[in-house]
Amino acid sequence: MVPVVRKILYATDLGRHARPGFAFAVSLVRSCGARIELVHVLEPVGPYARGVLGL
């Protein structure tokens, strides 16, 4: 029995290599009739950025 795929999670840092991964996720979504959930990942804020942002 083939599982039914309803959602695909695409996690990204939006780096230079993200586009091919996103294109693949979209092709999976189209072939399965699923939804895509996108999560953008950021590095933790360092001490300098905290000072600039007033955190």
pLDDT tens for 1-49 read 888 999 999 999 888 889 999 999 999 999 989 999 999 977 888 888 8
User: Do the domain assignments include residue 1?
Assistant: no
| CA distances, 10 to each of 2, 3, 48 (Å) | 21, 19, 30
| Structural domain harbouring 31 | 7-53
* Residue with more model confidence, 50 or 34: 34
Q: How far is C-alpha 31 from the geometric centre of its chain's CA atoms? A: 19
User: Do the domain assignments include residue 22?
Assistant: yes
Q: What three-state secondary structure class fits 31?
A: helix
Phi and psi at residue 14, in whole multiples of 5°? 60, 30
User: Do the domain assignments include residue 23?
Assistant: yes
User: Do the domain assignments include residue 2?
Assistant: no
User: Do the domain assignments include residue 11?
Assistant: yes
CA distance linking residue 30 with residue 24, whole number of Å: 10
